[in-house]
Each structure stands twice: as structure tokens, then as C-alpha cells.
Structure 1
């Protein structure tokens, strides 16, 4: 799966990009009709420790899923968001099977 990653107001290292690509690729095992995925990484200028925002948008035929998580690290946000997307994709696949 091709993952378009955009980092807002900072430079992202290759290690994080590889981690995101690896996690997003796992979503293909749950639903293979993913058209594209966009990932946005943002850092808020606040004094909170949870100032990293991970947002993922996945497009599937006829629909799209958006997950936005705010955490201490981007890795934590990726893990939580991918788990949420996994549940959504499984639910969509079950619905499609029920209509057949």
C-alpha cells in the first residue's frame, strides 16, 4: 500500500516513515481493497506532553475512514490509530459479506 506522509512544521526521519509504512501495510491483511492512505503528522506548540498528533485517512471504494490520535510519541499514535482502523475495516468487510 502506498502511504502518503506529510509532516507539518517539522522534518520527519526515515526511521519513523518506515515504521508508519510497516504498520499501515498490515491493514492490507484485513481489507485488501484500500485505494490510498494519507498520513499527517503534526506537533502542537503546547506545554502538554501529549502534543504529537497522528492523523490517518484511508480511502476504500465508496467510503473513507479517518482516525486522529494525540499522544506523547508518534509511534504510540500510530499503534493506537492502526488498531482503530483495523476494527473499522473488519466491520466494513463483515457488512459487505452480510449483503452478499
Structure 2
């Protein structure tokens, strides 16, 4: 599975991209039909402390899955989005 990480608002540290890669790679354990995952990390321009957004699109033939989560850190937002996608993949496999 190919993983594409985009950070339009900032330059991501290697530790962050490594964390995102590690989390998103685990989705491949749930389905071998995943072609790629596209991760968009962005900062919400609000006064809210939970202003880090992680959007993940998982490309599966005939069906893309998507999750977007917001939290205080990119790591937390990414972990929440990956958990949501695990549930979506399990539902998709049942149908």
C-alpha cells in the first residue's frame, strides 16, 4: 500500500510522518485490497486548542473510504481517524 502525506500549512517533522506512516500502514492488515492511503494534515485557523485536523482517504477499487478527525495534536487526530477507518473497512468487508 502506498501512503501519501500532505501538509500544506507547515513542514512536518520526520517523527510526525513516521508516526502517521506507522498508524496508516496498520490498515493494510484489515484488507489487502487497499491501493493507497492519502493523508492530509492541516491546521484549523480557529482559537480552539483542538485545531489539528487529520483527513485520511483510503483508496479501494470501487470504493473510497474517508475519515476526518480533529484533536489537540496531529498524532491524536490521526489515531482517531485510523480507528474510524478500521470500522469502515470492517463494515465494507461485510457487505
Q: TM-score, length-normalised on structure 1?
A: 0.91
May I ask how many residue pairs the two structures share in their alignment? 95
Could you say what secondary structure the match of 2:68 adopts? strand
1:91 equivalent in structure 2: 91
What is the CA deviation profile of residues 14-61 of structure 1, one whole-angstrom value per residue up to 9, with x for unaligned ones? 111011111111111111100111100101222110111100011101
Please say if residues 55 and 66 of structure 1, whose CA atoms lie closer than 8 Å, have aligned partners that are also in contact.
Answer: yes
1:74 equivalent in structure 2: 74
2:36 equivalent in structure 1: 36
Work out the CA distance in 2 between the residues paired with 1:9 and 1:16. Answer: 14
1:48 equivalent in structure 2: 48
User: Aligned ranges for residues 7-22 of structure 1 at < 5 Å?
Assistant: 7-22=7-22
Q: Where does the alignment leave 5 or more consecutive residues of structure 2 unmatched?
A: none
The 4+ residue runs of structure 1 with deviation greater than 6 A are none
1:3 equivalent in structure 2: 3
